[in-house]
Structure 1
């Protein structure tokens, strides 16, 4: 279905090239580019003179917010990341934006902040994991090279010799006396 529409639009352009001027062709190409680029493309209703069947309706241009609007939105976001309808309408009037534009800006900002926070936490967890791995390796190496403090021989971890058990029992008895 998508492929057929894509070919139809190119055939439409080829058919129009015989009937339209170069400037009109540029406008048609611009409109087609906007619709493929994911831009904001709300069609406008044609007025009396614009109802020529060969002309396509004009589309709304992609809108980037001004630096002032972004600064205001950022400041408001710090205070309230979830504005209600009333706050969105008031902010929209103040900035010259539609409430839906405000709504989507805040939704996108929250998504962006969540992704940023998750990346930050992921980095911290990776660093902590790396530190724990290094510490674990050091402990394993220390265990393999451990020596007995009394005789200098290899230490046996977790196992007490008969003499050591006997000495501990005797020490405990002496402490009680």
Structure 2
């Protein structure tokens, strides 16, 4: 009966009420509940379809992101290459730190010497001169023993 008439009019409800010996309100509530149940089932089916579609789209999106990431940064995920770059940078940092320390010590040594430091108390005449010229290789450091 429900498949033919999901929302019957009052006279149909009265007729069913008499045939089933139920109150018309009970018949009306039964039809309401049946309509609600069918709609809820449709909603659940639609939600399941949408959930599956969402999962498929998420998987596709993840795959596209992964492929794009691989194409953009082919070398980024190479652990050996990252380790080599890190080691090279650490070596360069160590070398530069040592060079700065060496130069700082050299400058400090020159600043500490008084003006008459060219004369050694042992009678050896030492002259250390830093000549700045336009040499692209940098300044010249000359040591003369006298």
Q: TM-score, normalised by structure 2?
A: 0.46
Higher strand share: 2
